[in-house]
């Protein structure tokens, strides 16, 4: 080969090598970046080319998919009783993305999860269209309906959470006001108006806010359950019926301010049972001050305070302050000062007491399934902590039963059932 031909051959070889390097760079190193590029419509078109898998409650789907009448995307998401289930499902929208279970389990629902590779390969061989898998929840439809309708009848803003104490399964998770995710599941041209109406600047009630998981409130007197647990666990008092050292009036340490009770209550040296029954601020405020912030903080953390929870949707961390003086500790111990809790958190407190002191990790996804209902992943109950001993939990159970039988919580009485509880109000602001 003469010199000019050799140079041309080397140059062509270098061009081929450069092409191979570039091709491999795009195929492997840049694959994820290109796949997630917002300008890459092929990925989005493929994503909506087949019906999405379903979110299941009590064996029945609470979601669905319908064919769209226009645009590149063939299917869009639908929801049954959307406002009731929105705090559980979140939304999946062609224009506005996804949230909550819809987003967390997107790979399963679209059929793109790596764990569905074998199922997808079989379907491809047999000529079946690609299908998404299902998300089976722990929710109970009757409990959810009761929670949502109760909040709706009450009006205003609120949330409700019910947990199975022995497992941590979330049976109800409702938030009000709510929204219908179906109203903006399509493309931007058709659904922008519905989306804008839900924004907080337009609707101050902020209906898309999941108040059960993402909003913290002063727990008020419901926090006295945690304070009573701390008193029992630290040996300050050993029984529900032991007289407490609780003068009346009681001036908070380091101040000249009396801690007031709500009315003329029999709180002077009251037993913890009586103090919880009528909700004595002075008794539980003094317990908190006597124990000190470190012991109170330790007990609050055992119940889940100061840590985010993942159910698997993220729940905001509830707050019990680390830095406080004695009077601030007293206020925090009756659910005031900086103490703040999600409704999920206070359901966790009640469930730990009901479960003889064992706090189970809350969760609302029982199982992930392939399109032919084969199990992919199963959630097993998991112990989160032991906030109090079985003996002390049973003492606290009896105290909470007294609250419902003859105290501030008599509206919670149910014929034929043993009910324990604690009412609570708080100044907010």
**Cα–Cα distances in angstroms (integers) from residue 191 to residues 62, 179, 199, 210, in the given order:** 21, 14, 13, 21
Q: Residue 368: name the closest of 85, 50, 91, 111 by CA.
A: 111
**For residue 346, what are its two tokens?**
């206070």
Give the separation between CA 428 and CA 341, rounded to whole angstroms.
Answer: 12
> Inter-axis angle of helices 343-354 and 390-406, to 10 degrees?
110
Give, as one character, the DSSP assignment of residue 380: P
Pairing of strands 309-310, 75-79: unpaired
Q: What is the DSSP string of 161-199?
A: EEE-TTT-BEEEEEEES---GGGGSS-HHHHHHHHHHTS
Q: Among all residues, which ones are annotated catalytic?
A: 221
**For residue 195, what are its two tokens?**
């989306």
Give the separation between CA 341 and CA 275, rounded to whole angstroms.
Answer: 22
Pairing of strands 359-360, 383-385: antiparallel
Mark residue 337 as left, alpha or beta (left: phi above 0; alpha: psi -120 to 50; beta: remaining): left
């Amino acid at each position: 080969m003469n010199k000019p031909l050799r140079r041309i051959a080397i140059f062509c070889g270098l061009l081929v090598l450069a092409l191979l390097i570039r091709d491999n760079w795009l195929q492997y190193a840049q694959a994820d970046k290109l796949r997630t590029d917002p300008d890459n419509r092929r990925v989005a078109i493929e994503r909506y080319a087949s019906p999405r898998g379903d979110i299941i409650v009590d064996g029945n789907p609470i979601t669905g998919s319908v064919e769209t009448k226009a645009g590149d995307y063939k299917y869009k998401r639908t929801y049954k009783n959307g406002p009731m289930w929105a705090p559980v499902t979140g939304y999946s929208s062609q224009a506005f993305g996804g949230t909550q279970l819809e987003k967390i389990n997107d790979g399963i629902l679209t059929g793109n999860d790596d764990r569905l590779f074998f199922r997808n390969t079989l379907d491809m061989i047999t000529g079946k269209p690609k299908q998404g898998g299902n998300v089976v929840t722990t929710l109970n439809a009757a409990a959810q309906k009761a929670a949502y309708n109760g909040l709706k009848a009450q009006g205003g803003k609120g949330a409700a959470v019910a947990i199975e104490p022995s497992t941590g399964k979330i049976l109800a998770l409702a938030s009000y006001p709510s929204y219908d995710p179906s109203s903006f599941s399509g493309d931007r041209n058709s659904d922008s108006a519905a989306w804008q109406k839900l924004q907080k600047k337009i609707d101050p009630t902020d209906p898309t806010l999941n108040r059960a998981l993402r909003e913290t409130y002063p727990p008020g007197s419901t926090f006295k359950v945690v304070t009573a647990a701390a008193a029992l666990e630290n040996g300050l008092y050993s029984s529900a019926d032991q007289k407490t050292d609780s003068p009346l009036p009681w001036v908070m340490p380091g101040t000249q301010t009396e801690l007031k009770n709500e009315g003329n209550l029999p709180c002077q040296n009251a037993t913890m049972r009586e103090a919880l029954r009528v909700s004595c601020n002075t008794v539980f405020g003094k317990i908190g001050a006597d124990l000190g912030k470190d012991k109170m903080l330790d007990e609050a953390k055992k119940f889940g305070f100061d840590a985010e929870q993942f159910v698997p949707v993220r729940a905001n961390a509830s707050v019990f302050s680390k830095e406080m003086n004695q009077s601030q500790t007293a206020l925090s111990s009756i659910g005031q000062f900086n103490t703040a809790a999600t409704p999920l958190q206070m359901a966790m407190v009640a469930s730990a007491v009901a479960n003889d002191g064992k706090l189970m990790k809350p969760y609302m996804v029982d199982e992930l399934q392939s399109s032919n209902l084969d199990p992919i992943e199963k959630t097993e109950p998991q112990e989160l902590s032991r906030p109090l001993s079985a003996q002390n939990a049973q003492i606290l159970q009896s105290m909470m039963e007294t609250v419902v039988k003859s105290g501030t919580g008599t509206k919670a009485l149910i014929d034929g059932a043993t009910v324990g509880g604690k009412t609570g109000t708080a100044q907010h602001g």
